[in-house]
Structure formats: C-alpha cells, structure tokens
C-alpha cells in the first residue's frame, strides 16, 4: 500500500510525523511546504510544494498543480493530512482520483475546526478532530489526539 502523507510546515508537519509509526509496512511518500531535515523522514521520498493558503488564489492554484503532479506520479491508495491548504488539495484531488482519504484537523484548533477542516468534510472518507468537544454525529469523529 502506498500512502501520501501531506502537511504544511510547522505544527501540521510535526503532527503528521508523529503518525509515522502507524504507517509501518506501507510505502510512504511525504508532501510538505518546506524541505524537511533528512532524519525526520528517514528513507521516505518527499515532495516539496510552494506554501499557499485560501486567501492567496494564484499561489493556491500553483500549489494545486504541484500537488496534482505528485498525485499523478505517485498514485497513492491513501492520502492522509493533518492540515492546511496542501493537505486539503491533496485530499480533494486524491478522492477524485480514487484514493481513500483521511483528514485529521490540527490540535491547534481547540475551539472550532480549521477552515480547511470545515471545507474537507465532503471529500474525506475519515474526518477526524483531536478535540472531543468538536466531534459530532454529522461532523468529525474524535479518536484521540496526535500530540
């Protein structure tokens, strides 16, 4: 099984790396917005895309094309993200291409879901929050926190 694990640099990336032991036995390819330290990802491949957000439409479009190219090259069976724009785009495009998709909203969003987390709901096969207070029957599920 090939997993595409996607997160923006910073806290989203740290949370994604904490999930790495759960990927044991799978081929894992990472996507992020900043070249990671080699020790952080071991011998796994990593693609770097430009950093963008929903308010910077041109950069978002450019980043979306980069993510699309990675998805077409890698053809993962599963796309998982802990957040922000690159993860949202990867989940949406991954779902369209037939991958199973998992979104884990950032632990930083304790009072409300992130913008990307709210938008990704219809695209994610598994939509998770790290705060039990934000879980609901028709919203994200709470299965625990990454940090």
Is the CB of residue 63 less than 8 Å from the CB of residue 86?
yes
* Parallel, antiparallel or unpaired: strands 45-48 and 27-32: parallel
Total domains, the chain: 1
Residue 45 pLDDT class (50, 70, 90 cuts): very high
Question: In this structure, is residue 30 part of a structural domain?
Answer: yes
Establish if 147 belongs to a structural domain: no
Domain membership of residue 12 as a residue range: 2-142
Ramachandran region of residue 109, left (φ > 0), alpha (ψ -120 to 50) or beta? beta
Classify residue 68: in a domain, yes or no. yes
CATH code for the domain in which residue 69 is found: 3.40.50.2000
Q: For 65-87, how does the pLDDT look when each residue is reduced to its tens digit (9 = 90+)? A: 999 999 999 999 999 999 889 99
Structure tokens at 115: 């913008």
Tell me the pLDDT tens digit for each residue of 84-131. Answer: 899 999 999 999 999 999 988 876 655 666 666 667 888 999 988 877
């Amino acid at each position: 099984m090939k997993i595409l694990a996607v997160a923006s640099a910073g806290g989203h990336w740290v949370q994604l790396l904490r999930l790495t032991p759960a990927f044991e036995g799978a081929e894992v390819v990472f996507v992020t917005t900043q070249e990671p330290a080699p020790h952080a990802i071991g011998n796994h491949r990593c693609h770097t895309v430009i950093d963008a957000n929903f308010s910077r439409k041109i950069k978002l479009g450019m980043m979306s094309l980069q993510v699309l190219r990675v998805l077409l090259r890698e053809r993962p069976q599963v796309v998982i993200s802990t957040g922000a724009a690159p993860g949202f785009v990867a989940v949406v495009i991954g779902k369209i291409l037939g991958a199973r998709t998992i979104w884990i909203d950032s632990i930083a969003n304790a009072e409300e879901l992130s913008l990307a987390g709210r938008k990704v709901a219809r695209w994610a096969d598994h939509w998770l929050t790290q705060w039990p207070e934000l879980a609901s029957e028709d919203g994200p599920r709470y299965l625990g926190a990454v940090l």
